[in-house]
Copies of this chain bind each other. A is one copy, B any other.
Amino acid sequence: MVVVMSPEATEEDVARVVARVEAVGGEAFVSKGVVRTIIGLVGDLDSFHHLNLRAMHGVADVHRISDPYKLVSRQHHKDRSTVWVGRPGHQVPIGPDTVTFIAGPCAVESAQQTLEAAQMAKSAGATILRGGAYKPRTSPYAFQGLGVAGLEILADVREATGLPVVTEVVDARDVTVVAEYADMLQIGTRNMANFGLLQAAGESGKPVLLKRGMTATIEEWLMAAEYIAQRGNLDIVLCERGIRTFEPATRNTLDISAVPVVQATSHLPIIVDPSHAAGLKELVVPLSRAAIAVGADGVIVDVHPNPEAALCDGPQALEGPELRELAQAMRLFPKLLGREAARAPEPAV
């Protein structure tokens, strides 16, 4: 941590900062410049936070130097992690050696629509099924999902197809029931800073797919992951899904650079959701190719057997031709990066 004093700060101001730091066991190195003095702090970052140095007289600014997250940081955990999704013996990996393809409908609307979407996804090479039973919607008048009935449909479709299921949970009170049915809990973009929900997910015993808040910095996103990790759950997969910018041509701006930035600072896997970033199905295939090429550990896309009739986000759902094009890209591109498509182990005969 570096404390920058204002040009008007007095010797006493500097001495008071030093004394306060030393009082909690830290060391303070003072560098006197022509105009300003700066003070470098060495010691326990957390104890410094409580000192409230920024509010002290004569202090102009305080720069944090180290990362504020610990458990999810790569600093003390050099190897990138792999998270396994599904029942023992049928787990699909998400991690540095593979590219995982997750697909399914935005919302679970009926048993048949979900089964058809899952079969489309599986035929295209997807090995995890996505689908929403609880939908956070901007309007209270929009379709909010089927709830437990939707979870039951997802469980049935898992039986029928063998695909593990990831589904969103939007309220801490629902974590227990969702964790009963799902193989992986998704925390959506609007709930990234819902700390009670993060903690509940951290105690659920299931892996968590944590979407980036559409207006969260990468650091805030990793701090949200830290909330989950703090409850003893390190099976966290991050999902970049676009950030809010001034550009209106796409629903959000896919921050493709976030993938290598996250991989350099955190050991957690990171995948990309091009469907929600773009909001337009024409962009899903090129953005999926870009995601694999940049080094993402997987992609998650919307598919629907009949996008025109979808109750949620129809314009971004893939069907026939685009899905075949995506399937082909998922076969070809990972090899150029020395990776392979992620799948559950074949059962021994």
Contact = CB atoms under 8 A, between A and B. Distances in A.
A344 B193 CA distance: 36
A170 interface: yes
Most B CB within 10 A of own CB, among A141, A253, A290, A310: A290
Interface stretch (A80-88, A122-130, A259-267): A259-267
A173 B173 contact: yes
Contacts of A256: 254, 256, 287, 290
Interface in A119-170: 136-143, 170
Given A193-B190, A255-B253, A54 B314 contact: yes
Given A196-B171, A253-B253, A257-B283, A141 B42 contact: no
Contacts of A260: 282-283, 286-287
Contacts of A57: 308
Contacts of A195: 136-137, 140, 170
Contacts of A196: 170-171, 173
Contact of A293 (B217, B255, B283, B292): B292
Contacts of A7: 75
Interface in A3-31: 4, 7, 29, 31
A34 to B, nearest CB: 7
Interface stretch (A96-104, A176-184, A218-226): A218-226
B261 A257 contact: no
A200 to B, nearest CB: 10
Interface of A: 2, 4, 7, 29, 31-36, 38, 40-43, 46, 49-50, 52, 54-57, 61, 63, 65-66, 68, 75, 136-143, 170-173, 190-191, 193-196, 214-215, 217-220, 223, 226-227, 230, 243-250, 253-261, 264, 277-278, 282-283, 286-287, 289-295, 307-311, 314-315, 317, 332-333, 336
Given A7-B75, A136-B193, A136-B195, 15 more contacts: A4-B65, A32-B42, A38-B65, A49-B141, A57-B308, A140-B223, A191-B193, A217-B246, A247-B258, A253-B257, A260-B282, A286-B293, A289-B293, A290-B290, A290-B293
